[in-house]
Chains A and B, each alone.
Chain A
Amino acid sequence: MSEADDQTEDQPIETLTLPLDAWHREKGGRMVEFAGYWMPVQYEGIMAEHLWTRESAGLFDVSHMGQLFISGEGVEAALEAVLPIDLSTLKPFGPRYSMLLDEQGGILDDLMVTRWSSGFYLVVNGATKWDDIAHLREHLPDEITLTHLDESALLALQGPKAFAALERVVSGEYPLSALTFMKGGQFKLAGADAWISRSGYTGEDGFEISIPAENAAEIADLLCAQPEVKPIGLGARDSLRLEAGLPLYGHDLSPDHSPVDADLLFAVNKRRRSEGGFIGAERVLRDLADGTPQVRVGLALDGRQAAREGAEVYAGSDKVGVLTSGGFSPTLGHPIAMAYVNRAQAAAGTALEIDVRGKRLAATVVPMPFVPHRYHR
């Protein structure tokens, strides 16, 4: 028996540990290398953790992600030169989705941007954070300061009961209920400062919580002491985000794709589509005008056999696309996938086939999310 297609990431020389390393091990987390860190892939099992998050609340440690703070004279214009975001419409304290693009319009990373009082707070992917920092330092002017908040941990509390659990233990100048989806604020948790936004990567209501690393274990204990909350590993994080139709960088997104074929045009804000002026704008605006040969779509598979990243998609004998993510959906009880397919085969309802080890599996193009989002707007 051997694992044929387990996740792998570029490995640094030495695998690093995160602030909650001992905490995960104590909770029975099965630790794997991910994005250069030891991280828990599961505790009691991916299926149980997935379903628990959908019906109650799950605590995810995402401290591998890069938390950056960017400030200085002219920071707004400087950031607009590297991101396709319209900061003039970005109100304080609410995160917004954006992406770093290369000169050819290829996606270097996807990220969240929040306007704080004195600058901008960015959360970037763990596996790409060192490259992101180098890219930003290269392209931001000297008077702009980029600080890597590497003494902060990041937790996500996700699920329909996340609000009830967090509200019980949080304090602040205003109630937690003041936050609706994609709003954030400063709170206290176990006596420590906590930056909390109502956002996440599961499709559920929930919160992302930035805290000092030194307080992370105490806060994780406090949250897991709430009856609604269990710790959830990377395995369920992946299956939850797939059901929510949310792309994963390094799989569904890469420098080979632009925001247009990735179907993430909402991240290229309206003013920027007409004005351009960001790295990669030429390609993005051209793709917008001319269209792209392929586009990212969702596929629902018949039967129970899953198809995974790299599997080829066929319409009859013609190869029309490739899977970038795929797996069994615990919520739906059948496999689902994301793929880039030719525009002619991209309409919802199109019947296609996926080649898995020489066998053709029937699949249908379906709208995403696969499982409806339940954000608290």
Chain B
Amino acid sequence: MPRYFTQDHEWIEVDGDTGTVGITDYAQGQLGDITFVELPETGTAVKKGDAPCVVDSVKAASDVYAPVSGTVTDANSALADEPELVNSDPENGGWLFRLTLSDATELDGLMDKAAYDAYVAGL
């Protein structure tokens, strides 16, 4: 399944019209120890660039932006008891929420893995 990345360090993996969103390993490293994740409610309509999710670390609270527009269909309930999953497994078990894409063409503006890795290497 194709996976796309944003300049704000979110990833989205797309399966049909469903996207799974998380933050990248680089992002969790920058944030440090994550202590709480405020997840969006199922049914929430989000526009690309909205911040439906907030990740709290010991240091600060950080917005997570929606990489594309859509409607939230699911959120990772395991994070309620284990927010540190975002640190230990950010690009798999530490996923944040799923949404149904309303405009798949928005994916065109995102980076693929190679482009994102090059972007991070330049930071």
> Which residues of A are interface residues toward B (Cβ below 8 A)?
1-7, 41-42, 45-48, 50, 235, 239, 303-306, 308, 327-328, 330, 335, 357, 359
Contact = CB atoms under 8 A, between A and B. Distances in A.
Nearest to A46: B58
Contacts of B32: 42, 45-47, 235
Most chain-A CB neighbours within 10 Å: which of B27, B31, B59?
B59
B61 interface: yes
A3 B51 CA distance: 12
Given A1-B9, A328-B56, A328-B58, A45 B63 contact: no
B58 A4 contact: no
A235 B38 contact: no
A359 B41 CA distance: 13
Contacts of A335: 35
Given A46-B33, A305-B36, A5 B58 contact: no
Contacts of B38: 305, 357, 359
A306 B33 contact: no
Contacts of B23: 1
Nearest to A2: B63
A48 B63 CA distance: 24
A1 B35 contact: no
A330 B38 CA distance: 19
A330 B83 CA distance: 14
B64 interface: yes
Smallest CB-CB A-B distances: 5 pairs: A47-B33, A328-B35, A304-B36, A46-B58, A305-B36
B31 to A, nearest CB: 8
A326 to B, nearest CB: 10
Nearest to A235: B59
Given A45-B33, A357-B54, A1 B59 contact: no
